[in-house]
Amino acid sequence: MTDEAPNSAPRLIDGPDDAPATVLLAHGAGAPIDSPFMAAIASGLAASGRRVVRFAFAYMARMRVTGRRQLAHRMPVLQEAFRQQVRLEKTGQPGRPVFIGGKSMGGRVASLLIDELAASDGVRGCLCLGYPFHPPGMPLQLRTEHLASLQTPTLILQGERDSFGRREEVETYRLSPQVQLRWIPSGDHSFKPTHSSGLSEAENWATAVAVGDQFLRERLMC
């Protein structure tokens, strides 16, 4: 299903209308909401009974129209777009629990907002799919300060060999007790494994869905 949010932000919706919770997901900096990765995660969570809403930031929507690559907006613009999406969900279904998250940059935006939105809108938790702990090749440019003090349950699913934060790097970072870190075996930034691992991309995506769904179930039981 497709619809449009305020300011004509494209959205894709998977899962039953009467789902017990909505998962609101944003895309990464360079790939759209209908990328194979986003589609696999959304359809997997929807198959578990979640309502999954994928939305596009304005720069990505414009890129789809013009066919020209666009730079991502600055963080305050991205954050306000995410706030608008949460308000849309809470207005449309005021009693339904909402979780936020996304792929890479989208997950980072969600993590920066989760404590604020938990307090103001009752958002239950955050799901980060391949967190960009630092730019590739720049391990000292960390994006982790807020992760040390988060007060709201957050799950980070990370490929073991993600160039934005490999396992041997990330396990040295100081993270809040509210942050769960789960590893996708041999996975890169989109959880694609090495050939020698014997795993497939689809298997790793299924693992991510299963772990993510368990996180949602635990939060809904609280």
Work out the average pLDDT over 112-122: 97
Q: How many CA atoms lie within 13 A of 7 on its CB side?
A: 16
Cβ atoms of 164 and 135 within 8 Å: the answer is: yes
Confidence band for 72, pLDDT divided at 50, 70 and 90: confident
Least confident range from 87-91, 106-110, 172-176: namely 87-91
Nearest to 103 by CA among 79, 132, 75: 132
Cβ atoms of 216 and 125 within 8 Å: the answer is: yes
Query: Domain tally for the chain?
Result: 1
Confidence band for 93, pLDDT divided at 50, 70 and 90: confident
Helix (H, G, I), strand (E, B) or coil at 10: strand
Confidence band for 186, pLDDT divided at 50, 70 and 90: very high
pLDDT for 100 equals: 98
pLDDT for 2 equals: 43
| CATH code of the domain covering residue 80 | 3.40.50.1820
| Residue 126, pLDDT above cutoff 70 | yes
| Residue 81, pLDDT above cutoff 60 | yes
Two structure tokens written together for 5: 């949010």
Cβ atoms of 109 and 138 within 8 Å: the answer is: no
Q: 182 or 222, which is more confident?
A: 182
The parent domain of residue 191 ranges over: 2-221
| Residue 32, pLDDT above cutoff 80 | yes
Cβ atoms of 109 and 128 within 8 Å: the answer is: no
Nearest to 80 by CA among 41, 26, 126: 26
